[in-house]
Amino acid sequence: MTIQDASQATRPAGRPRSEKAEKAIIEATLDLISEGMGISELSIEAIASRAGVGKTTIYRRWSNKEDLVVDALVTLKAPLPALSGESVRADLITLLDAMRAEAGMGRVRCVMNIAMSEHDRYPRLMERFFKTAIEPRRQAMRDTLERGVANGELRADVDVDLAMALLSGAMTWFTKWGPEGDLPADLAESLVDHALRGLAP
């Protein structure tokens, strides 16, 4: 998903957009958050100053600060990885390894931690972000697990929601609270194999 796609519904019609200005605005937003500025403190004035553009340039593209922050956060999420469909194990490893790779990016982790800490104050912002960036990943995992149940790779009585929580929750634990240093390259494979011991027929 491009920046333009994510915010198409929220922008008024106007003069042709400058991709250079748009990128500068997005980068300025992420820079300010990564430096410790919470969403409450973040202002269009500060973003415009950091990006080297006028406030009107921002308002031509985003109707408010929350829409801009959503688009900025979405750019931090890598595209949903392609799944081979060859096996449930392979696809689950691909999905979890994408989580591991994202967590290894310091700036991404910092920005997300700061933004997510204000979930209660900005429910609409978080709702849009989850719908745009998180829900497609959750649906991909759900589809993979349901396929496994349907084709016999997984037990017929598997609780798909619980399986999703076990898999993504385990990776989240390692990325947020696990040992310091780089995560093992085969972490996703290890987690999936441990989980499949209980999920497989």
Please report, for residues 83, 93, 198, 199, the alpha-carbon distance to residue 194 in angstroms, rounded to integers and kept in the order given. 20, 12, 8, 9
Say which CATH architecture domain 3-75 belongs to: Orthogonal Bundle (1.10)
Please report, for residues 106, 138, 167, the alpha-carbon distance to residue 103 in angstroms, rounded to integers and kept in the order given. 7, 17, 15
Output the pLDDT for position 2.
47
Helices (H), the chain: 3-6, 19-34, 44-51, 55-61, 65-76, 88-103, 106-116, 123-129, 135-151, 160-177, 187-199
Domain ranges within the chain, ordered by starting residue: 3-75, 79-199
Output the pLDDT for position 10.
47
Give this prediction's pTM.
0.76
- CB-based burial label for 51 (10 Å; 0-12, 13-18, 19+): buried
Per-residue pLDDT of the chain (201 residues; tens, 9 = 90+): 444 444 444 444 444 458 899 999 999 999 999 898 888 899 999 999 999 999 999 999 999 999 999 999 888 888 888 999 889 999 999 999 998 888 766 677 778 778 778 878 888 888 888 898 889 999 999 999 999 999 999 999 999 999 999 999 999 898 888 776 778 899 999 999 999 999 888
Tokens of residue 3, six digits:
């920046």
Tokens of residue 159, six digits:
């609780």
Identical topology for domains 3-75 and 79-199: yes
Output the pLDDT for position 106.
67
Tokens of residue 134, six digits:
């998180």
Closest by Cα among 78, 63, 92, 75 to 28: 75
AA identity, residue 120: D
What is the Rg, in whole angstroms, of the alpha carbon atoms belonging to the chain? 19
* Homologous superfamily of the 79-199 domain (CATH): Tetracycline Repressor, domain 2 (1.10.357.10)
